[in-house]
Amino acid sequence: MKPNLGQVDLPVGCSIFPRDLSAPRTWADKLFPNLFYWNELDHGGHFAPLEDPAQYVTELRNCFRSQRSS
């Protein structure tokens, strides 16, 4: 069995809000080898669901749409 060197092997989607702490995409690609969604938004922050619920729901839908089976 190969040791886990700090990687998350599960599918991962990230919505990056400008007023929230985040890591660079290059770092995320190394940590999350199954990163399937990455979007950097123009506004929002740590409390995105409260600040703009419609935008948050749109992000969730966009993220997981690609994971739905046809």
* pLDDT, tens only, 4-24: 668 889 999 999 988 887 889
Largest CA-CA distance found in the chain, in angstroms, rounded: 44
Question: Tens place of pLDDT for every residue, the chain, 70 residues?
Answer: 676 668 889 999 999 988 887 889 999 999 999 999 999 999 888 888 899 999 999 999 999 998 886 4
The answer to whether the pTM exceeds 0.85 is no
What is the structure's pLDDT at 69? 67
DSSP-H helix ranges across 2-65: 25-31, 48-51, 53-65
What is the structure's pLDDT at 68? 82
